Amino acid sequence: EDKVVQSPLSLVVHEGDTVTLNCSYEVTNFRSLLWYKQEKKAPTFLFMLTSSGIEKKSGRLSSILDKKELFSILNITATQTGDSAIYLCAIPPAGSYQLTFGKGTKLSVIP
């Protein structure tokens, strides 16, 4: 059965800290891994990773995939209160265009 496990489930940090969020997965016929950020409303797309070892970067956020060890990390440097959100990791199961999501990591950034 395809599975996505995120850790930690919640995290509280101070502004300016750097955080690393983890996502491990099990899937047959890996195609991609996606990260989303969810504030109060709709999850918004952050990154899609398909190749091992290639870092994707957007401002203070970056992500990388390790297909050998079956995990991905999402890094946020110099955190701000606006980074407070639930971060979701997801994979498409084999033969499907839906996404299977992990339970998410709730990040709280305090001033």
For residue 3, what are the β-bridge partners?
26
Task: Decide: is 48 part of the binding site for other proteins (CB under 8 A).
Answer: yes
For residue 25, what are the β-bridge partners?
4
Task: Pick one of 14, 28, 42, 58: the residue that binds other proteins (CB under 8 A).
Answer: 42
Task: Decide: is 29 part of the binding site for other proteins (CB under 8 A).
Answer: no
Task: Decide: is 72 part of the binding site for other proteins (CB under 8 A).
Answer: no
- Rank residues 64 and 90 by Cβ distance to other proteins and give the closer one: 90
CA angle 71, 77, 83 (to 5 degrees): 90
Task: Decide: is 101 part of the binding site for other proteins (CB under 8 A).
Answer: yes
- Rank residues 71 and 101 by Cβ distance to other proteins and give the closer one: 101
- Which phi and psi angles does 48 have, rounded to 5°? -125, 125
In this structure, are residues 9 and 54 in contact, taking their beta carbons and an 8 Å threshold? no
